[in-house]
Amino acid sequence: MKLEDKLTTTIMILQVALNNVDSLKHTNYYQKEIKKHINLLLPHLIKSEKEYFDKFFKFEEKSTDYVYQVHETFLKELANVPIYDMENIVTIIKAYNKDKKSIEGICNKVLR
């Protein structure tokens, strides 16, 4: 993976994490230990967002928004997969990396 791709991925993941952690503040889970950990984590995520995401967004607003949406969708879909099925997901990703066109074809066929 190229450095630019790693940086972009990291920036997007930080932004998605910040949004999701912040949204936990408005649930019943925001109590005791979780509240303590979130309150320790949020300032670090906000600092990272200000350092990286905002600068990145300023230069590449349209593509940044698109990449952010892709990452957010990916994480939401991944979160719906039970942990015991993750080995299968890894297998699918490995197959995709080996032959993107075939796996995309299979996926499109299944999703019809």
Question: DSSP letters of 53-69?
Answer: IHHHHHHSHHHHHHHHH
> Span 62-77, mean pLDDT?
75
Same domain for 66 and 86, yes or no, is no
21 lies in which domain range?
3-80
Same domain for 59 and 97, yes or no, is no
pLDDT at 54: 63
Widest pairwise Cα distance in the chain: 48
Q: How many domains are contained in the chain?
A: 2
pLDDT at 93: 92
Same domain for 76 and 86, yes or no, is no
- Of 109 and 70, the structure prediction assigns the larger pLDDT to 109
pTM score? 0.50
> Span 11-22, mean pLDDT?
76
Same domain for 91 and 36, yes or no, is no
> Span 1-26, mean pLDDT?
74
Same domain for 7 and 52, yes or no, is yes
